[in-house]
């Protein structure tokens, strides 16, 4: 049993211990014990980037713990982003290396139960693990296809995202019906404007600001799934180029 994470009180809700332990076991297998053919590249990665040598070292780092009809343009923009996501999934499915990916870690969720692991500590560890896996994936991809090809793909994805995020305020995403709740448009538009400035002007914005963005609910607001899809791709690009 891991002692990396503290537990909440016996009557408080925390993350399911068994699920967290199962995830950590998979992460250790894929990150700490990669295929033999990747050992040389992985050793170079640790030396070049300073990525922690093991999942436990990364996870235990305490420093970081603290329906309205769609328009044709809207559908086209969403299709472009979904195509990027589909291409990534297909590429990852054909890889012989890591089974667990940075994107997979980002989407990891655990059930809640009394006396479980502290969500604050586990969430912080997941973010650090995502960063570490993303760094390793970038190294492996550039090792195989070259830095220029990697950056060209990231720039292409960024162009699609900027086209979506640059739309007029209140019209950047499809809206839910007047009877359904979505993300408040003004909140999403505010973040969208920051992202456009980040991509186009190099304005400072961190991955954590995107990861932890919270939007107030609003009837007839932006469709949550669509916004989440775009922000997920934003995080991928930010991790790819940093």
**pTM of the entire structure?**
0.67
Residues in a beta bridge with 7? 117
Give the model's pLDDT for residue 50: 44
Give the model's pLDDT for residue 32: 77
Give the model's pLDDT for residue 69: 44
Give the model's pLDDT for residue 219: 95
Give the model's pLDDT for residue 153: 87
For β-strands 13-15 and 112-114, DSSP reports them as: antiparallel
Integer-rounded Cα radius of gyration of the chain: 19
Give the model's pLDDT for residue 115: 93
Give the model's pLDDT for residue 197: 96
Q: Is 212 helix (H, G, I), strand (E, B) or coil?
A: coil
Q: What is the DSSP string of 164-190?
A: HHTSPTT-SSPBPPTTSEEE-HHHHHH
Residue numbers of the chain with a pLDDT score lower than 50:
36-50, 52, 64-70, 89-90, 92-98
* Residues 37-79 pLDDT 10s: 444 444 444 444 445 457 888 887 755 444 444 455 555 555 5
Alpha-carbon span 242 to 38, nearest angstrom = 23
Q: Would you give the DSSP letter of residue 69?
A: P
Among the listed residues 113, 150, 138, the one whose alpha carbon sits nearest the alpha carbon of residue 17: 113
Give the model's pLDDT for residue 123: 93
Here the tokens at position 196 are 């456009």
């Amino acid at each position: 049993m891991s002692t990396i994470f503290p537990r909440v009180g016996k009557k408080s809700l925390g993350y399911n211990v068994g699920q967290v332990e199962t995830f950590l076991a998979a992460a250790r297998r894929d990150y700490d014990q990669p295929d033999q053919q990747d050992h040389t590249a992985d050793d170079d990665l640790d030396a070049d980037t300073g990525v922690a040598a093991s999942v436990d070292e990364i996870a235990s780092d305490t420093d970081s713990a603290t329906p309205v009809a769609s328009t044709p343009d809207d559908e086209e923009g969403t299709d472009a982003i979904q195509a990027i996501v589909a291409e990534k999934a297909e590429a990852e499915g054909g890889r012989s290396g890591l089974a667990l990916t940075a994107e997979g870690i980002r989407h990891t969720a655990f059930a809640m139960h009394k006396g479980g692991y502290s969500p604050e500590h586990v969430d912080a560890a997941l973010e650090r693990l995502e960063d570490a896996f993303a760094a390793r994936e970038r190294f492996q991809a550039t090792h195989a296809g070259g830095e220029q090809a990697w950056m060209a793909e990231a720039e292409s994805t960024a162009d699609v995202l900027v086209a979506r995020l640059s739309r007029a305020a209140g019209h950047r995403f499809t809206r839910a019906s007047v009877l359904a709740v979505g993300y408040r448009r003004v909140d999403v538009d505010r973040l969208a404007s920051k992202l456009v400035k980040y991509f186009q002007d190099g304005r400072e914005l961190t991955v954590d600001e995107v990861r932890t963005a919270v939007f107030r609910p609003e009837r007839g607001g932006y469709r949550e799934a669509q916004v989440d899809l775009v922000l997920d791709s934003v995080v991928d690009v930010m991790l790819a180029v940093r």
